[in-house]
Structure 1
């Protein structure tokens, strides 16, 4: 006989993003937000890079809505503030947050070509800061050069070290399909 399912309360809190919280290894392991003057901490699961990437481009003071479940109390005493296990980032400054790898369309002009580790061109960086990854085969078919107007669509994730730019795994560029990853033999 199966056990009854346990109900878990998910809280949705709106507040101002304060800062990231780091592990001793330098990984982002959570964030602090201010909810009407009350600090709230959201802790990510171990090795949850997707959660950390969700917050990389945020600046202190931006309004966020974050979902989480109340974390169990720490084993060594009472926490200084409420701590939540992170569930998801709902919105940033009133705009629904598109999770990692959600399709995104970006437009801009080619600022420079991008090259893979082995030196072959594999995409472009737009004047918006977005990196459009086309793979070498796609780049060869598209014939892009600096100054060209580009509209690209594909799954996106935040570009580390930037403020709001993304890496787009291009499925289409200027209406042309971009070949995907080659199948392994």
Structure 2
């Protein structure tokens, strides 16, 4: 089966990572309703990428995509399955390298600066406010102590800086804020 892909392996041959370009077809669901992979069309041939079990970060990278968008997906080729022959080539997902020729955006752990207006508060599992959601759809995570220190409210303009990753919805990101409007979110520790 011929695929349009580039090989990016190690020199000692221990890891063969392939970059496969194709058009997004659809997500693949697990029997329990989770997302366990994605199918792309590579020059008329279906190519499947499977995620590690319970890898919500991988699934979120694909959640906002539209059918037909051009993707470059990297993965390692899966070996034969003891359950039978695959209908197409299957790769173990490594990363989404590009969408329509551009970086897919908020990669996990990437430094980011976002700006927007607070439209609602977000609450931790125990019910205490731990950040704000902006009109851009982004979530600024401040932790409860940071939220109390900053005194943010609906309607405030916010500029947040910190580590970012995509939200599970596929739209917007979560920023683990280090600074909001130029102010540190956490108290400086006394030395």
Question: How many corresponding residue pairs?
Answer: 177
Q: Structure 1 115/9 Cα, relative in aligned 2: closer, same or farther at 3 Å?
A: closer
Select which of 49, 52, 59 maps to 1:42.
49
In structure 2, what is the equivalent of residue 10 of structure 1? 17
| Contact 1:54/1:100 (8 A) holds in 2 | no
In the TM superposition, 1:125-140 aligns within 5 A as 125-140=133-148
| Contact 1:32/1:40 (8 A) holds in 2 | yes
1:122 aligns with 2:130: yes
Give deviations 1:16-68, integer Å, cap 9, x for gaps: 21211121122221111112222110012233333223222323222211011
In structure 2, what is the equivalent of residue 89 of structure 1? 96
Q: TM-score, normalised by structure 1?
A: 0.84
How big is the alpha-carbon RMSD for the aligned residues of Structure 1 and Structure 2?
A: 2.2
SS at match of 1:170: strand
Structure 2: segments with no counterpart, 5+ residues = 1-11
SS at match of 1:96: coil
| Contact 1:56/1:158 (8 A) holds in 2 | no
CA shift, 1:163, in A, is: 4.1
Select which of 59, 62, 65 maps to 2:66.
59
Select which of 180, 185, 188 maps to 1:178.
185
Give deviations 1:77-134, integer Å, cap 9, x for gaps: 3221111111211112222234223222211111122233333322111001111111
| Contact 2:19/2:74 (8 A) holds in 1 | yes
SS at match of 2:16: coil
| Contact 2:60/2:170 (8 A) holds in 1 | no
Select which of 78, 86, 91 maps to 2:85.
78
| Contact 1:57/1:158 (8 A) holds in 2 | no
Q: Structure 1 73/118 Cα, relative in aligned 2: closer, same or farther at 3 Å?
A: closer
In structure 1, what is the equivalent of residue 6 of structure 2? none
Q: Structure 1 123/75 Cα, relative in aligned 2: closer, same or farther at 3 Å?
A: same
